[in-house]
Amino acid sequence: MSTDIAALAARLDGAAFHATATPQLEDPISLEDAYAVQRASIQRRLDRGETRVGIKMGFTSRAKMVQMGVDDLIWGRLTSGMLVEDGGSIALPDYVHPRVEPEIAFLVGRPLAGRVTIPQALAAVDAVAPALEIIDSRYEDFRFSLTDVVADNSSSSGFVVGPWSRPDVDLSNLGLVLAFDGRPQAFGSSAAILGHPLRSLVAAARVIAEAGETLSPGDIVLAGGATAASALRPSSFVSLEMETLGRCGFHTDP
Ligand code: OOG
Ligand code: MG
């Protein structure tokens, strides 16, 4: 039986919109269909007036793969509705069971797509920043197969971007601390992201071309969590401090 892409897109988009979990998909779907569901569910957000902002890479670190029991790189789409202001706040009831993870953001300055080298990827970058991703699987118990999570826009739900720096910073091994109310929650290094976060941008250029699209000037690319994700709690201040790049953070409402 062929997959009903539109029905699955409506179901996952509805689960995100209403912040209610949906069961894992009843029938396994192909990876191609999973990305088609993702695209269709994001189109529903664009039809409601959100705009395309960039993409996020997922499972680019061992810590993330081990935490979720998945072992292949995935990607998802970022829209304007997912952007949380640095220092701003989110309301937990708008989410199903949100988690946060430390990332690095790239600001694309020149079109980028296809098979590129690390220097070519770097040449397309205008700026880099510390970033936090809020992931929120729409599936019950935050459990999914690889294709389930791809269909669910790779759990993408929100993101915060800190101050932009020039891209000539050495990104290979920047220490980082994720903290809740100033208490360290996770320690890591940018090296956890595929050995070097620019490798994630190289991968982003490849996957976006496979989807028949391009990274365009102004797009943001999230390189993927450098540590396992942490569950959000009410009334806390979540912060990321990254060596050289600085800090960003957000509050969770009571
Ligand atoms: C899937 C999204 C993975 C990352 O940074 O590795 C991801 C998930 O863990 O729910 O965003
Ligand atoms: Mg992530």
- Give the pLDDT confidence of 200-248 residue by residue, as tens digits: 999 999 999 999 999 999 999 999 999 999 999 999 999 999 999 999 9
Q: Convert the pLDDT of each residue in 76-117 to its tens digit.
A: 999 999 999 999 999 999 999 999 999 999 999 999 999 999
With a 6 Å cutoff on the Cβ, whether 3 touches ligand 1 is no
Q: What atom of ligand 1 comes closest to residue 64's alpha carbon?
A: 6
With 0-12 / 13-18 / 19 or more C-beta atoms within 10 angstroms meaning exposed / middle / buried, residue 53 is middle
Domain span including residue 41: 5-253
> What is the Å distance from ligand 1's center to 155 Cα?
6
Atom of ligand 1 nearest to the CA of 61: 6
CA distance 80 to 58: 19
Query: What mean pLDDT is predicted for residues 22-50?
Result: 97
pLDDT band at 21 (very low <50, low <70, confident <90, very high): very high
Per-residue DSSP letter, 97: S
The Å distance, Cα 149 to ligand 1 centre, comes to: 9
Average pLDDT score, the chain: 97
Regarding the beta carbon of 101 and ligand 1, being less than 6 Å apart is answered yes
Please determine, for residue 164, whether its predicted confidence score (pLDDT) is greater than 80: yes
pLDDT (average), residues 169-197: 98
Query: What is the average per-residue pLDDT within 50-79?
Result: 96
CB of 201 within 6 A of ligand 1: the answer is no
Look up the CATH number of the domain holding residue 216: 3.90.850.10
Structure tokens that stand for 243 in this block: 């060596």
Q: Give dist(CA 196, CA 123) in Å, integer.
A: 16
Q: What pLDDT sits at residue 106?
A: 98
Atom of ligand 1 nearest to the CA of 142: 10
| Total domains, the chain | 1
Q: Distance between CA atoms of 60 and 102, rounded to whole angstroms? A: 12
- Ligand 1 atom 8 nearest Cα: 155
How many other CB atoms are found less than 10 A from the CB of residue 184? 11
158 lines ligand 1 (CB under 6 A): no
Q: Which atom of ligand 1 is nearest to the CA of 135?
A: 10
The residues whose Cβ lies within 5 A of ligand 2, an ion, are 133, 225
Q: Is the pLDDT of residue 120 over 80?
A: yes
User: Residue 180 pLDDT > 90, yes or no?
Assistant: yes
1, pLDDT greater than 80? no
pLDDT at 71: 86
